[in-house]
Structure 1
């Protein structure tokens, strides 16, 4: 399976490492910033790096030829419909909530703010609407009392994301397709940025 990875930062790097151990062919890393640590890790591993022309959008030209699957990991860019069409199985991303709950950039912070006793993660199909594509895999974790968003992410949600991504990719390798369960819109909630101006 040939994968184009779109991402950044620490989760991008840990996803890259998981994919390299997973007997898939990582053909390209697409980053919004050529100095990002994912770009450095990809170059060190001999993987082609492409810097997005527009940091908010991934275009079809930026997806490697003959890509089977686009995987996003800590990317805030929208993967265009044309880019998804350039990949045999489209694209998947990890969202650290039980979608459709907490759609948006600050899902973990909203989990804490709302006092949710349970958090979770979802692998979802990339679609036109942010975090609204069909679910490929989902699992949940307990939230510890007094835990911060960062602690919850590092303790439970980042490892869960890697495990679920691996599970979906394994399914795709065996079946040549990915699971897809449509989200139930009646349960959708928004998780916009809690600190305006900061990103």
Structure 2
């Protein structure tokens, strides 16, 4: 199975390190040359795209079985999602709760005692695709968004993205449950 990774920082680098142990990496795409994933991809000899400079169009030449977004902060258009049989991302909240870029801060500000992470299928709407996997954690008293990310949410993202790849490899699909169904079940 061939995997493409779009992302940055610790999360994307850890996902890359773990996935390359079991799967072929088709490419990595990072915001710029300063990211640790850029260096790791170059050193490993994989195609590397810097999407802030080049855009995502160069990825169209690199079809993969699975496209993984790990801390990407970039919208993946349908044309790019189309290079893969499956396109997933990780969001640090229990979707459909707290969509958007400030989801961790939003959970803390709302006084939530529990939050978590979601691996979901990428769609035309941001953070709105069907849910594949979720996990939860407590928000500790006095915890900041940064400390919660580092303690629980980032490691959770690595584990769940790798689990999604393993599930696809073993069973030929990644689970998908509509977020509206999840909302109705919880309500």
| One of 73, 79, 82 as aligned partner of 1:82 | 79
CA distance in 2, matches of 1:103, 1:185: 16
How many pairs does the alignment contain?
184
CA distance in 2, matches of 1:152, 1:51: 28
| One of 34, 56, 59 as aligned partner of 1:58 | 56
Question: How big is the shift at 1:84?
Answer: 1.0
The equivalent residue for 2:30 is 31
Poorly superposed stretches of 4+, deviation over 3 Å: none
Pairs within 5 Å for 1:123-162: 123-162=119-158
Output the TM-score relative to the length of structure 1. Answer: 0.86
Question: How big is the shift at 1:52?
Answer: 2.1
The equivalent residue for 2:100 is 104
Write 1 or 2 for the structure with the bigger share of helix: 2
CA distance in 1, matches of 2:61, 2:169: 18
CA deviation map 1:133-156 (0-9, x unaligned): 000101111111111111111111
Contiguous gaps of at least 5 residues in structure 1: 188-199
Is the partner of 1:92 in helix, strand or coil?
strand
Question: How big is the shift at 1:19?
Answer: 1.2
The equivalent residue for 1:45 is 44
Pairs within 5 Å for 1:6-21: 6-21=6-21
- Work out whether 1:71 is the aligned partner of 2:64: no
Q: Residues 121 and 139 of structure 1 are in contact (CA less than 8 Å); yes or no, is this contact kept in structure 2?
A: yes
CA distance in 2, matches of 1:104, 1:69: 23
RMSD over aligned Cα, in angstroms?
Answer: 2.0
CA distance in 2, matches of 1:148, 1:35: 26
CA distance in 1, matches of 2:173, 2:53: 30
CA distance in 1, matches of 2:181, 2:169: 30
